[in-house]
């Protein structure tokens, strides 16, 4: 607000509170109020004055209003409105529901990419990712891990390397062909390769 508008706010406060200092002829008080209230709209300043003199604080203390009281009142009302405007669009859009299938597909893609980066055959990596996904497609009867969640040990810590409890493996076996953990698949592949090499050398 400018000096004239600040003068109106000051006169309004004086009319409500006879203890308010009277404006000086040089306009120093009015200029000081204008400087302190430069970013406060005049309408907000008027509302702040009325609110102050209707408040419990004034009833209890009988202190005259100061520019700082008006600024504080304005800031308290301006910030929530700014936050609503800044975040209104985000709040208006509901978060999409989580799709476990898409999440698991993303996890499988990451696993496959990591395996390829380590020099593992892409088809083998995809097979292992599919095996891990299948192992988590049922609830674990032993530790009660939900679908798509890892099995947990006695202390509630997730088991590492995609290991699952035997009962979960058996639950998967009951509805799909047996899926073995990577370590067992790798071991059987290595044994098979060793057998072939042994047969060739014999």
Q: Is residue 112 part of a domain?
A: yes
Break the chain down into helix, strand, coil percent, rounded to 5.
65, 0, 35
The answer on 112 and 182 residing in a single domain is: yes
74 with 108, same domain: the answer is no
Number of folded domains that form the chain = 2
Kindly report whether the global pTM for this prediction surpasses the value 0.85.
no
Q: Is residue 198 part of a domain?
A: no
Query: Does a structural domain hold residue 196?
Result: no
User: Taking a C-beta distance cutoff of 8 angstroms, is the pair 76, 68 a contact?
Assistant: no
Give the pLDDT of the chain (202 residues) as one tens digit per residue: 898 998 899 899 999 888 888 888 888 888 888 999 999 999 999 999 999 999 998 888 889 999 999 999 999 988 766 655 555 544 555 656 666 677 666 766 776 777 777 787 777 777 777 788 888 889 999 999 898 888 998 888 888 877 889 999 888 887 644 444 444 444 344 444 444 444 434 4
Asked if 112 and 54 sit in the same domain, the reply is: no
Q: Report which DSSP code applies to 159.
A: P
> Are 56 and 129 in a shared domain?
no
Q: State whether 78 and 104 are in the same domain.
A: no
What is the residue range of 13's domain?
Answer: 3-92
**152 lies in a domain?**
yes
**Rounded to a whole number, what is the largest CA-CA distance in the chain?**
117
Q: Is the same domain home to 29 and 107?
A: no
Domain boundary among 55, 70, 92: 92
Determine, yes or no, domain membership for 48.
Answer: yes
151/119 same-domain check = yes
């Amino acid at each position: 607000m400018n000096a004239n508008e600040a003068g109106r706010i000051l006169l309004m406060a004086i009319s409500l509170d006879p203890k308010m200092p009277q404006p000086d002829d040089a306009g120093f008080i009015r200029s000081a109020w204008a400087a302190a209230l430069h970013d406060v709209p005049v309408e907000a300043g008027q509302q702040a004055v009325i609110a102050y003199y209707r408040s419990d604080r004034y009833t209890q203390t009988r202190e005259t209003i100061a520019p700082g009281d008006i600024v504080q009142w304005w800031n308290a009302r301006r910030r929530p409105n700014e936050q609503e405007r800044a975040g209104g669009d985000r709040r208006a859009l509901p978060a999409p529901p989580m799709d476990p299938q898409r999440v698991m597909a993303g996890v499988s893609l990451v696993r496959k990419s990591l395996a390829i980066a380590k020099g593992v055959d892409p088809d083998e990596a995809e097979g292992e990712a599919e095996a891990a996904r299948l192992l988590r497609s049922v609830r674990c009867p032993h530790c009660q891990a939900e679908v798509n969640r890892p099995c947990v040990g006695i202390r509630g810590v997730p088991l590492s390397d995609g290991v699952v409890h035997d009962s979960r493996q058996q639950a998967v076996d009951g509805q799909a062909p047996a899926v073995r953990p990577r370590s067992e698949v790798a071991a059987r592949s290595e044994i098979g390769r060793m057998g072939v090499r042994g047969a060739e050398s014999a």
